[in-house]
């Protein structure tokens, strides 16, 4: 069979990796080097060149969007459907495994997946049951504690008996949380992975069955795996050692949510004799951008090492702007974007990146003032929106009465006169008698232990859910969703909000019905009832929905959100010590290197033009700060960097040779003058640029070093 069509589109390094002989393979794929192409072509190569059955391949990545793209590319190459192939996210694959073997995993057949908001409600319930004050035991922090232990493979029983009082209480919360989830067959996202790992770890026949079944294991974005994800891969892959991983240790930026860069460094030890391929040819950025990024990331120790290069030209130098304050920075950025647009380029080709989401406020203000459309990338996704979660909760409770998170969410939405006192009685009865909230409510109603008003309100709610269940039975999926929304009273409820917010909520509810109408279950969901499959899909998609159709607008986003994206023009802003790198990174081992990787990721988003900016003064945390420029700026070699000025200043002044000051520059100050500043103290004038209120002066201060100041704001006195 002619398989040249699989290899011909690849460069030499990609071709070697795709056609590597059997055995463990590590592909170090630099930014913009075509890593997903390598993985998809590898699957096609295994199937076509080696006769591997697609049903013996496990391919995992981190988002459903990426998994669908992967599947589409492979099917496009092979020319036929890959129905039944194990391809998806880690969580999706774990869910498929647990559903197939729910009894072995100790779960009910209809176990419920908890998204983050559902888990939050369960945590709050546990805290209430234990009589703990949420003001001290913050539910969000408890969630983090629970998930962090699970992601590292630690159950409550593995933690011993802490000597610290606070840790003992947290351990007690963990035990009660596990007990409640076990009783009602509730599975949070971290539990999906841990339960799947334990299922295979402790069940040798099942483990051997899946090792034989899924002999070829391929992993994309391997640098983002956490401890339990890597253990799961090792468990499945160590028998036949056909493990093919693609990743970039230089782009491991999610340590704060459990990702371990050590996994990619550990792979060669766990899979001895692994072949290593480096994809270093970049198809995205100009040479100057790549050289600047290479220089920054090369400072990190413990890298496996690679150096990005391109066959394209040098391109423009990386631009550096030294702003007076955050407003000066924002005005400069917006002015450059406007100039870009005036030259006929789309606004959507520009991105403003920042380390902290709080930085977006000033950029938004300036963009609004200038009438430039923008979008804050990474806002609430479709299935995270309150009105969508309310509608899904009605459907979940109608499908499964023991769904306590859904009961809690909608018992009084819309308001139906069920007060907190009544709910506390229901919760307490459920806790004492180890019942679901639904069963506890039913029991209290029948026993007449509640007031007549509470009985009436609570009965009305239970009858409403029963009515929804009865009326949606046998209906097509879209009509089930539409009926539940209408009977639940959500449209009338949200109309009360009035204005655009109400319209947006109603449009979202309509879009949920459309989503149900267009819904087609994935392979792992085909044997489920349509409503169950749709609810499972919604839970797995929560927080990861597809991007909406965008207007041509400027993109604002955090550096973490920017990973995987690219733009012709990129602004990397707020490059100051304490902000980027973040102050926390200076206090925690390993965090500074992750911050540097984050800088590398930000720089390599740029295709044609990259701007770096920092401010002399920044109002942060409610006070004025005078930060030093980020150390990352000092790590960019001067030959790739060019200092630029705002609209009032001359351009083309580079780091190595400054322009001769114009006559009359500096508002009367001269080189060498001794000056005093109210905050910075005494100093000496080193350089002058510009005229009038836009003139800038560089002063070497005795205590804080060299700074550029705008004379119109500087309040300098000659001494």
Name the pLDDT band for 522 (thresholds 50, 70, 90). low
Residue 367 has pLDDT above 70, yes or no: yes
User: Is 387 designated active site?
Assistant: no
* Among 16, 36, 63, 280, the one annotated catalytic: 36
Residues 294-305 have pLDDT tens digits of: 999 999 988 888
* Among 605, 618, 631, 707, the one annotated catalytic: 605
Residue 633 has pLDDT above 70, yes or no: yes
Residue 550 has pLDDT above 80, yes or no: no
DSSP 152-214: TT--GGGS---SSHHHHHHHHHHHHHHHHHHHHTEEEHHHHHHHHHHHHHH-HHHHHHHHHHT
Q: Judge contact between 277 and 16, C-beta under 8 A.
A: yes
Q: Read off the pLDDT of each residue in 491-506 and give the average, rounded to a whole number.
A: 76
Q: Read off the pLDDT of each residue in 246-266 and give the average, rounded to a whole number.
A: 87
- Strands in 318-323's sheet, in edge-to-edge order, are 374-376, 554-558, 350-354, 567-572, 606-615, 318-323, 641-644, 653-654
Q: 243-252, 363-372, 644-653: which range is least confident on average?
A: 644-653
Residue 622 has pLDDT above 50, yes or no: yes
Query: 572 by DSSP, 3-state: which?
Result: strand
d(CA 389, CA 393): 6
User: Is 35 designated active site?
Assistant: yes
Query: 188 by DSSP, 3-state: which?
Result: strand
Residue 266 has pLDDT above 80, yes or no: yes
Q: Read off the pLDDT of each residue in 413-432 and give the average, rounded to a whole number.
A: 91
d(CA 646, CA 244): 49
Kindly report the length of the chain.
719
**Residue 664: what are its φ and ψ, rounded to 5°?**
80, 5
* Among 251, 286, 359, 609, the one annotated catalytic: 251
Rounded to 10 deg, the angle between the 116-129 and 420-433 helix axes is 80
Name the pLDDT band for 545 (thresholds 50, 70, 90). very low
**Residue 636: what are its φ and ψ, rounded to 5°?**
-90, 120
Q: What is the pLDDT of residue 660?
A: 33
User: Is 221 designated active site?
Assistant: yes
Q: Judge contact between 602 and 570, C-beta under 8 A.
A: yes
Q: 95-104, 412-421, 519-528, 687-696: which range is least confident on average?
A: 687-696
Identify how many contiguous H helices and E strands the chain contains and give both numbers.
Answer: 28, 23
Q: Read off the pLDDT of each residue in 383-409 and give the average, rounded to a whole number.
A: 92
Q: What is the mean pLDDT of the chain?
A: 88
Q: What is the pLDDT of residue 417?
A: 85
Residues 312-363 have pLDDT tens digits of: 999 999 999 999 888 899 999 999 999 999 999 999 999 999 998 778 878 8
- The gap from C-alpha 199 to its chain's centroid, in whole angstroms, comes to 28
d(CA 306, CA 285): 16
Residue 686 has pLDDT above 60, yes or no: yes
Name the pLDDT band for 265 (thresholds 50, 70, 90). confident
Q: What is the pLDDT of residue 498?
A: 63
Q: What is the pLDDT of residue 544?
A: 43
Q: 45-49, 446-450, 600-604: which range is least confident on average?
A: 446-450
* Range of 16-30, 546-560, 688-702 with top mean pLDDT: 16-30
User: Is 684 designated active site?
Assistant: no
Residue 165 has pLDDT above 60, yes or no: yes
Q: Which segments of 51-164 does DSSP mark as H helices, in order?
A: 64-78, 90-100, 116-129, 139-151
* Among 15, 35, 71, 427, the one annotated catalytic: 35
Residue 17 has pLDDT above 60, yes or no: yes
Q: Judge contact between 243 and 82, C-beta under 8 A.
A: no
User: Is 404 designated active site?
Assistant: no
Q: Read off the pLDDT of each residue in 133-153 and give the average, rounded to a whole number.
A: 89
Closest CA to 275 of 7, 28, 49: 28
Q: What is the pLDDT of residue 500?
A: 57
| Residue bearing the bigger pLDDT, 381 or 194 | 194
Query: 370 by DSSP, 3-state: which?
Result: helix
Query: 446 by DSSP, 3-state: which?
Result: helix
Q: What is the pLDDT of residue 486?
A: 95
| Residue bearing the bigger pLDDT, 437 or 660 | 437
Domains by residue range for the chain, with CATH: 4-101+193-281 (3.40.50.300), 112-184 (1.10.10.160), 284-381+543-656 (3.40.50.300), 382-541 (1.10.486.10), 660-719 (2.40.10)
* Among 118, 188, 191, 221, the one annotated catalytic: 221
User: Is 36 designated active site?
Assistant: yes
Name the pLDDT band for 717 (thresholds 50, 70, 90). confident
Closest CA to 536 of 150, 110, 183, 121: 110
Residues 180-193 have pLDDT tens digits of: 999 999 999 999 99
Q: 272-276, 560-564, 684-688: which range is least confident on average?
A: 684-688
Name the pLDDT band for 663 (thresholds 50, 70, 90). very low
* Among 118, 188, 191, 220, the one annotated catalytic: 220
Q: Which residues contact 144 (CB under 8 A, 6 or more apart)?
A: none
Query: 353 by DSSP, 3-state: which?
Result: strand
Residue 440 has pLDDT above 80, yes or no: yes
The 10 Å CB-count burial string (b at 16+, else e) for 370-404 is: eebebbbbeeebbbbbebbbbbbbbbbbbbbbbbb
Residue 270 has pLDDT above 90, yes or no: yes
Q: Judge contact between 224 and 260, C-beta under 8 A.
A: no
């Amino acid at each position: 069979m002619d398989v040249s069509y699989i290899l011909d589109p690849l460069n030499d390094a990609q071709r070697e990796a795709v056609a590597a002989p059997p055995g463990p393979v590590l592909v170090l794929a630099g930014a913009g080097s075509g890593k997903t192409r390598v993985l998809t072509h590898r699957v096609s190569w295994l199937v076509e060149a080696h006769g591997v059955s697609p049903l013996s391949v496990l391919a995992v990545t981190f988002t459903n969007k990426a998994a669908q793209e992967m599947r589409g590319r492979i099917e496009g190459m092979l020319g036929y459907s890959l129905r039944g192939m194990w391809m998806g996210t880690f969580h999706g694959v774990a869910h498929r495994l647990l559903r197939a073997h729910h009894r072995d995993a100790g779960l009910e057949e209809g176990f419920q997946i908890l998204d983050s908001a559902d888990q939050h409600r369960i945590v709050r319930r546990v805290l209430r049951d234990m009589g703990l004050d949420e003001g001290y035991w913050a539910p969000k922090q408890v969630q983090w504690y629970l998930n962090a232990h699970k992601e590292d493979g630690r159950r409550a029983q593995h933690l011993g008996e802490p000597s610290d009082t606070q840790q003992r209480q947290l351990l007690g919360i963990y035990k009660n949380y596990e007990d409640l989830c076990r009783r009602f067959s509730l599975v949070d996202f971290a539990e999906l992975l841990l339960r799947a790992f334990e299922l295979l770890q402790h069940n040798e026949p099942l483990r051997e069955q899946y090792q034989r079944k899924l002999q070829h294991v391929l992993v994309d974005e391997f640098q983002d795996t956490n401890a339990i994800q890597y253990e799961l891969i090792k468990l499945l892959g160590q028998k036949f050692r056909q493990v093919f991983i693609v990743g970039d240790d230089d782009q491991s930026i999610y340590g704060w949510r459990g990702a371990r860069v050590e996994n990619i460094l550990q792979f060669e030890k766990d899979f001895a004799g692994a072949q290593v391929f480096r994809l270093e040819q970049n198809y995205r950025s100009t040479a100057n951008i790549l050289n600047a990024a290479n220089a920054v990331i090369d400072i990190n120790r413990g890298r496996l090492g690679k150096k990005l290069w391109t066959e394209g030209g040098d391109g423009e130098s990386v631009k550096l702007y030294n702003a007076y304050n955050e407003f000066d920075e924002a005005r400069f950025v917006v002015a450059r974007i406007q100039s870009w647009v005036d030259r006929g380029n789309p606004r959507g080709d520009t991105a403003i990146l920042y380390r902290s989401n709080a930085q977006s406020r000033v950029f938004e203000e300036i963009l609004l003032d200038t009438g430039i459309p923008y979008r804050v990338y990474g806002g609430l996704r479709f299935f995270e929106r309150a009105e969508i979660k309310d509608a899904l909760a009605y459907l979940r409770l109608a499908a499964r009465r023991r769904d306590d998170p859904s009961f809690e969410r909608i018992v009084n939405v819309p308001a139906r006169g069920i007060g907190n006192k009544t709910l506390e009685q229901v919760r307490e009865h459920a806790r004492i008698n180890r019942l679901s909230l639904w069963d506890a409510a039913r029991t209290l109603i029948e026993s007449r232990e509640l007031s007549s008003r509470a009985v009436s309100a609570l009965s009305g709610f239970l009858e409403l859910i029963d009515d929804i269940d009865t009326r949606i039975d046998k209906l097509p999926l879209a009509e089930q969703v539409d009926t539940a929304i209408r009977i639940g009273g959500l449209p009338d409820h949200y109309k009360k909000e009035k204005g655009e917010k109400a319209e947006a909520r109603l449009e979202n509810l309509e879009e949920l019905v459309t989503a149900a109408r267009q819904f087609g279950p994935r392979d792992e969901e085909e044997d489920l009832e349509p409503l169950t499959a749709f609810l499972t899909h919604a839970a797995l998609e929560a927080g990861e929905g597809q991007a909406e159709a965008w207007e041509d607008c400027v993109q604002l986003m955090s550096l973490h959100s920017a990973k995987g994206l690219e733009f012709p023009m990129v602004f990397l802003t707020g490059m100051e010590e304490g902000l980027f790198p973040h102050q926390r990174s200076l206090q925690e081992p390993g965090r500074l290197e992750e911050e540097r990787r984050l800088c590398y990721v930000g720089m390599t988003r740029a295709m044609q033009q990259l701007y770096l900016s920092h401010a002399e003064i920044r109002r942060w945390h409610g006070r004025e700060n005078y930060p030093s420029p980020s150390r990352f700026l000092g790590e960019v070699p001067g030959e790739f960097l060019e200092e630029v000025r705002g609209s009032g200043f001359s351009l083309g002044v580079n780091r190595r040779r400054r322009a001769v000051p114009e006559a009359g520059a500096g508002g009367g100050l001269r080189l060498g003058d001794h000056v005093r500043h109210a905050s910075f103290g005494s100093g000496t004038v080193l350089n002058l640029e510009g005229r009038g209120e836009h003139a800038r002066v560089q002063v070497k201060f005795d205590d804080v070093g060299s700074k550029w100041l705008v004379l119109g704001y500087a309040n300098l006195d000659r001494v």
